[in-house]
């Protein structure tokens, strides 16, 4: 199964096609995102709405075992889901006509 591709333009800030796989992902402040945590969570919800799905999010402070410099690091755990039968989002779902996952917005 082929992953969605980006349109031409500047490099994506976030790896949206990778994140739209229905699996849980973690993003750490200062590593995977640099904006305020509530702004990043808002971006996740807006992206989900744009592509006809929803996103589950959890925000917590943690220490990453492989990165000792992340003491008390703010982390967002999230996954994108479809509205239908609670199935994971798939590339086919995202590539329906008029819908392409891009990182340019």
Q: What's the pTM value of the predicted model, to 2 decimals?
A: 0.69
Ordered DSSP codes for the chain? -PPP-PPSSSPPSS-HHHHTTSS-EEEEBTTTB-S-HHHHHHHHHHHHHHTT-EEEEEEEEE-BTTBGGGTTEEEEEEEEE-SSTTPBP-HHHHTSTT----S--
pLDDT for 6 equals 58
Give yes or no for residue 19 having a pLDDT over 70.
yes
Q: Output the average pLDDT for the chain.
A: 76
pLDDT for 3 equals 45
Average pLDDT over residues 43-47: 93
Note the pLDDT tens digit of each residue in 63-81.
666 666 656 788 999 999 8
């Amino acid at each position: 199964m082929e992953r969605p591709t980006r349109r031409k333009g500047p490099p994506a800030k976030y790896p949206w096609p990778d994140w739209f796989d229905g699996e849980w992902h973690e993003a750490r402040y200062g590593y995977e995102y640099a904006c305020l945590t509530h702004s990043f969570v808002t971006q996740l919800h807006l992206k989900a709405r744009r592509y006809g799905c929803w996103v589950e999010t959890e925000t917590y402070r943690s220490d990453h075992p492989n990165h000792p410099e992340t003491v008390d690091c703010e982390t967002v755990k999230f996954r994108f889901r479809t509205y239908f039968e609670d199935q994971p989002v798939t590339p086919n779902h995202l590539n329906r006509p008029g819908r392409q996952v891009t990182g340019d917005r």
